[in-house]
Amino acid sequence: MKAHAEVIVEKRGGAGVIRLNRPQAINSLTLPMVRALLRALQRFEEDPDISCVVLTGEGERGLCAGGDVRIIHDLGKAGDPQVLEFWREEFPLNYRIAHFSKPYVALMDGIVMGGGVGISAHGSHRIVTERTKLAMPETGIGYFPDVGGSWLLPKAPGECGTWLGLTGNVIGAADALYAGFADYLVPSHRLDDLVQDLSQATDRDNIEATIGAYVAQAGESILQANQNTIDATFGFDTIEEIVAALSARQDAFSRETLDVLQKRSPTSLKLTLRLLRLGRESMSLIECLEREFAAGTEILRQHDFYEGVRAALIDKDRNPRWRPARLEEVREVDLEPYLAGHSGNLFPDHRL
């Protein structure tokens, strides 16, 4: 174990503990971190003394703020062919987590966004706290929910996943549980004790009983309270129809949602909706990851991602100038290059 490493891997009794250790960047993922996570999972899966894996993040701010999109931005701008390597290895990591043979316990404390959702919400035992702030905020930077987001989001009740994917809004523990991104709420001050007890658990039943002893009530879900409104306004297959439905309503939730959508990249909104609808009909996580990889490849050839990252992370003026700037200027045919990539790029040994 290296204390300065960006991923710290250690055995604690029967638990394999993986600690993301880049707190100054809210543990944002880099390619070396993705590779370290893959190596750790391989090691723990093969170790007969390990009963479960626990993922946690160092620092007070959160588990993981996502992939380090500033690095991707810079590589893409420079035309560096290595720019796709991050997704090429991150997406198989998401799949590995979803199909890990031992209990995978993700401690989703604090900020859990984008790629942070990918390394937690695909796990078997997903724990949120009263401090959890979860989001798939990609439409705000000219991108789309990836890391299997088009597989996870359509599985939320009704159109909640569509609302989450298009708005990119932050949700708390109760909504994460309701939307199916988490399984349990444990108070943040009890997480260390939980990990200690998990290190003594010997099988899946023990692990679930151990977690159950720490579970607390989550309170009211905003998504659940607004389910009827969300279903009535987000059940369409075009962004124009969704906007029209929201515009026709006078309630505060609809007005606030409409205001958010009007700030997002028009191209990202239309692409995200297409991916979510395709994901709803997909038979496997691999199918969604392959489609997302193809879409991400095309994103790097276009304007909005670079402009979105500039506005959010570089100049921080929060005033992106999208191209096209209006929904009606984004035609359905314009989306085809994002969806035309060859399948099998990431998982050549699997048939889609």
Catalytic residue annotation:
67, 115, 138, 146
> Largest Cα–Cα distance in the chain?
59
Tokens of 238: 């075009």
Tokens of 220: 């009211």
Q: Report the distance separating Cα 352 and Cα 243, nearest Å.
A: 34
Nearest to 15, CA basis, from 192, 166, 142, 151 = 192
Q: How far is CA 232 from CA 104, 158, 242, 247, 249, in A?
A: 36, 10, 9, 12, 10
Nearest to 100, CA basis, from 38, 160, 165, 159 = 38
- Whether the Cβ atoms of residue 173 and residue 129 lie closer than 8 Å to each other: yes
Q: How far is CA 114 from the centre of its chain?
A: 4
Q: How far is CA 236 from CA 21, 159, 186, 243, 271, in A?
A: 42, 9, 36, 10, 14
Q: Report the distance separating Cα 138 and Cα 302, nearest Å.
A: 15
Q: How far is CA 81 from the centre of its chain?
A: 25
